[in-house]
Structure 1
Amino acid sequence: MKFFVQFAQKVVNAASDILPFPISLSDEEGNIIGSTIPERIGTIHSPSKEVIKKNRPIVFEEERVKDMDNVLPGIAVPLNFNHKIIGVLGIIGPPDQVKPYAQLIKRYVEMQWQDTVLNQTKYMHKKTLETFAQYVLLNEQPNRERIQQYCNMFNIKFDSKYCCIVIDILDSMWLEQNVQSEEIKNKLLELIKTTYQCNENVLLTFLHAERIILLKPLLSEEDYLDFISHFEKQSNQLMSHSHLLGVKNLAVAVGNWRHSIEEIYHSYQEAERLLNYGKSLGIKPRIYSFYNWKILLEILPRYIETNFFNKLLIRLKSLTEDDHFTELAKTFLTFCDTNMNMSKAAKKLYIHRNTLIYRLQKIETITGLNIKSFDHCLLFYLVLKYYENFQTS
């Protein structure tokens, strides 16, 4: 078997440290694939086929092997895995001296083989899960049958509703130290699963070294609303507990719910946009969802349609071309951010209250807006925020 060939010499080297006799490993065809005598590797050990056929140890006395090609005195023992013979262990030396070691070394090699297969199976499971995640999250129109096959493979509910949680690891030192540590990474995944109260059969994996995704199964829209109302609290817990694993800096976002896993691409895109918005706007804590009013207010201007924004700019051209536009825009935004409180806005701007009133009146004169009108202020605020984002993007 391919895995047996890959690990044979490694096991031989390990076994030679505890055994005072040379050993070899042969595959089911009699090819020596591992040996403490390097020149024997790649040669044929014909008696191995007899050992496999009889499925029992065979002793080779010195008298018996003197006329046999590439056969040395000792004992040959069949190696079994899952009730199947996978090869032959050979211990070289006087038969009466090597026989007591036969069963011990046989069990050692079989256990090492079992661990190797188990690790390979876990590795393949992890890589296949990553492939599945990349397929459903990065394809806007994935193939339905292929998704169903993946879901059956991992026992994931195909027809369930889902939302996508994206967790970015921003701790460069942790990444550098633990990128190869499967144990630490698995502990982080288990922490995420526990924090967001998920069962075993969920799509939770590293999408790449710096990003983890979790597809949270949902029963209904009401279930999503209940989950999202606790999302910030749970994410704060995740950030707190991840410190115990050495992760000092995380950013977390969740997209809206979708009717099926086929549509999860859109939830992932929403979560990714939230992360980008949060990063560019410097919003902290780094926990982002559409349930948060502050975040909604911050990102809403970015959703203004470009053509509509251009029409508004034409209406406000006289203001944007004014020599003091930057100062006037900052004044108005600060006025809004302080809940239209003249005294607080003036204090925050380090100007006299009369100067603030003068600037606001100047805005009214240039634009025709009524600063006392909530509707006018809201529209102007969104336009200025969009303009601010547009200028810095």
Structure 2
Amino acid sequence: MWYGGFVQFAQSTVKAVSGIISFPISVSNEKGYIIGDTNPERIGTRHKPSIEVIRKNDVTLFTREKVAGMENVLPGVAAPLNFGGRPVGVLGIIGEPELVEPYAHLVKKYVEMMWQETLHVQAENLESMTLESFFQYILLNKSVNREQVNHYCDMLKIRADCTRFCIIVDIGNALLENIRHTSNSLKPNRFKGTLLDCVKRAFDHGNDDICAFLNTERIVVLKAVRDETRYLEYMREFKGKCLGLIETLKMYSVELTTIGAGNPYSSIDMLSRSYLDADSVMKYGQQWNGGRKVFSYYDWDILLGMLPSRIDPHMRKTLITRLEAFRKDSSYMELKHDFLVYCEHSMNISRAAKALYIHRNTLIYRLKKVNELTGLDTSRFDHCTLLYFSLREETENLSQQHFHRMFE
């Protein structure tokens, strides 16, 4: 069995070793063909003694007398290169045997270690790419094939039936910037690995947790929890963990990090819902909560802010019809503003009037006018709640339309 990576990187190995020792070197494969050489003209030619070196699996000296009459063989030392417990190639150091022999074992070990590291990195990269493909499949599709999911889980050794929730860590264009300026920073794969390590540490990565890049902008954690109680316990500490991660990522020039969390689901093929939960709460938070970096449904302020937009179309139409007279009144904008401030000050007329810089009797008069136009009683909490959410929903829709027009 031949290792494709060995062929692919043979010449780079020759270049690396040539920078360490001053003697010409060559690398042959197990069939005796030179696949890397200080002299490029020898690449692809047959070096028959390499086959014998592999068979003996021992360092062999080639004196000038020994190579006399041999085709394409130069004096020096040939050492078998072992990978996976067997010789798969030969390293040749060209020169007088007594001069190059002291380097043979040292360079042999160096090359074997370098190739072992190369194969290890390739395996890690392949696993990383497979995991990223898996994330894209289960998180970005509304429905998935359970057989395909099980195939991925078997290949990646992932428990499928485990309660998890989705955490999105959005790093903006930090990864692309790193790639663009590689000469001044970590190499892309190493940079990705470093960011993943930071995220795993921040969220207490466990055996059933899964963490990977979804795309160049987002790292996703599928965090395992035993049950909903454990989820709530974890979410009590979630904001603190996120803020710590944000500060850590700044050390790697990741300045614009936002984090969102979805709700837990009992099976891995249902986690697209948790991803949509997290994505939805992040979009809301980034538009309406300037300065915030962490968003989740555990945050009551976020839930309160999102609730008006969750009114279903039938109820929305009913509310619009019932409030038509109020909206058509010439004082509508002023009355709406004053009413919202009144609600946000716990229906306390004195505090609300102070915040509005008006006399409390003026506010009482305006609230009575709201009562007349809507048929509601602004002294009742339930009536105020209904009107408050209706007006908030309208206000946010208008703000959102304005927001999108700004970027058209």
2:344 corresponds in structure 1 to 337
What's the TM-score, normalizing by structure 2? Answer: 0.88
Pick aligned residue for 2:54 from 49, 52, 55: 52
Letter in 2 for 1:52: I
2:141 corresponds in structure 1 to 139
Pick aligned residue for 1:370 from 372, 377, 388: 377
Q: Quote the Cα distance in structure 2 between the aligned partners of 1:244 and 1:338.
A: 41
Q: Does structure 2 conserve the Cα–Cα contact (< 8 Å) formed by 1:133 and 1:203? A: no
How many matched pairs? 392
291-300 vs 358-367, which deviates more? 358-367
- Aligned-pair distance for 1:181? 4.7
Q: How does 1:184-199 map to 2 (within 5 A)?
A: 184-199=191-206
The superposition leaves residues 95-141 of structure 1 with CA deviations (integer Å, 9 ceiling, x where unpaired) of: 33222222121111111111111111221222222122222211222
Q: Quote the Cα distance in structure 2 between the aligned partners of 1:41 and 1:352.
A: 93
Q: Does structure 1 conserve the Cα–Cα contact (< 8 Å) formed by 2:175 and 2:216? A: no
Q: Quote the Cα distance in structure 2 between the aligned partners of 1:108 and 1:223.
A: 49
Distance 1:92 1:54, change over 3 A: same
Pick aligned residue for 2:41 from 29, 39, 50: 39
Pick aligned residue for 1:129 from 105, 128, 131: 131
Distance 1:102 1:258, change over 3 A: same
280-289 vs 71-80, which deviates more? 280-289
- Aligned-pair distance for 1:246? 4.8
1:27 corresponds in structure 2 to 29
Which consecutive unaligned segments of at least 5 residues does structure 2 have?
179-184, 401-408
189-198 vs 263-272, which deviates more? 189-198
Q: Quote the Cα distance in structure 2 between the aligned partners of 1:351 and 1:341.
A: 14
Pick aligned residue for 1:75 from 72, 77, 87: 77
- Aligned-pair distance for 1:79? 0.7
Q: Quote the Cα distance in structure 2 between the aligned partners of 1:180 and 1:65.
A: 44
324-333 vs 57-66, which deviates more? 57-66
Letter in 1 for 2:37: S
Letter in 2 for 1:334: V
SS at match of 1:208: coil
Q: Does structure 2 conserve the Cα–Cα contact (< 8 Å) formed by 1:155 and 1:201? A: no
Distance 1:336 1:283, change over 3 A: farther
Q: Does structure 2 conserve the Cα–Cα contact (< 8 Å) formed by 1:25 and 1:35? A: yes
Q: Does structure 2 conserve the Cα–Cα contact (< 8 Å) formed by 1:163 and 1:255? A: yes
- Aligned-pair distance for 1:8? 1.3
Q: How does 1:203-218 map to 2 (within 5 A)?
A: 203-218=210-225
The superposition leaves residues 152-175 of structure 1 with CA deviations (integer Å, 9 ceiling, x where unpaired) of: 3333322211111112225x5686
Distance 1:347 1:195, change over 3 A: same
Q: Quote the Cα distance in structure 2 between the aligned partners of 1:104 and 1:383.
A: 78
1:358 corresponds in structure 2 to 365
73-82 vs 183-192, which deviates more? 183-192
Letter in 2 for 1:60: F
2:295 corresponds in structure 1 to 288
2:5 corresponds in structure 1 to 3
- Aligned-pair distance for 1:329? 2.1
Letter in 1 for 2:315: F
Determine if the alignment matches structure 1 residue 229 to structure 2 residue 236. yes
Distance 1:326 1:31, change over 3 A: farther
- Aligned-pair distance for 1:247? 4.1
Pick aligned residue for 1:87 from 64, 71, 89: 89
Which consecutive unaligned segments of at least 5 residues does structure 1 have?
none
Q: Does structure 1 conserve the Cα–Cα contact (< 8 Å) formed by 2:175 and 2:217? A: no
Q: Does structure 1 conserve the Cα–Cα contact (< 8 Å) formed by 2:176 and 2:216? A: yes
What's the TM-score, normalizing by structure 1? Answer: 0.91
Q: Does structure 1 conserve the Cα–Cα contact (< 8 Å) formed by 2:59 and 2:80? A: yes
Distance 1:44 1:174, change over 3 A: closer
Q: Quote the Cα distance in structure 1 between the aligned partners of 2:153 and 2:170.
A: 25
Q: Does structure 1 conserve the Cα–Cα contact (< 8 Å) formed by 2:79 and 2:90? A: yes
SS at match of 1:142: coil
The superposition leaves residues 151-208 of structure 1 with CA deviations (integer Å, 9 ceiling, x where unpaired) of: 33333322211111112225x5686246845445444433433333332442112222
Q: Does structure 1 conserve the Cα–Cα contact (< 8 Å) formed by 2:174 and 2:253? A: no
Q: How does 1:318-333 map to 2 (within 5 A)?
A: 318-333=325-340
SS at match of 1:330: helix
- Aligned-pair distance for 1:260? 1.3
2:14 corresponds in structure 1 to 12
Q: Quote the Cα distance in structure 2 between the aligned partners of 1:179 and 1:358.
A: 66
The superposition leaves residues 60-116 of structure 1 with CA deviations (integer Å, 9 ceiling, x where unpaired) of: 333443433322222222110111222111111223322222212111111111111
1:269 corresponds in structure 2 to 276
- Aligned-pair distance for 1:299? 0.4
Q: Does structure 2 conserve the Cα–Cα contact (< 8 Å) formed by 1:188 and 1:242? A: yes
Determine if the alignment matches structure 1 residue 299 to structure 2 residue 301. no
Q: Quote the Cα distance in structure 2 between the aligned partners of 1:37 and 1:197.
A: 52
Pick aligned residue for 1:202 from 206, 209, 220: 209
Q: Quote the Cα distance in structure 1 between the aligned partners of 2:69 and 2:331.
A: 104
Letter in 1 for 2:30: E
2:403 corresponds in structure 1 to none
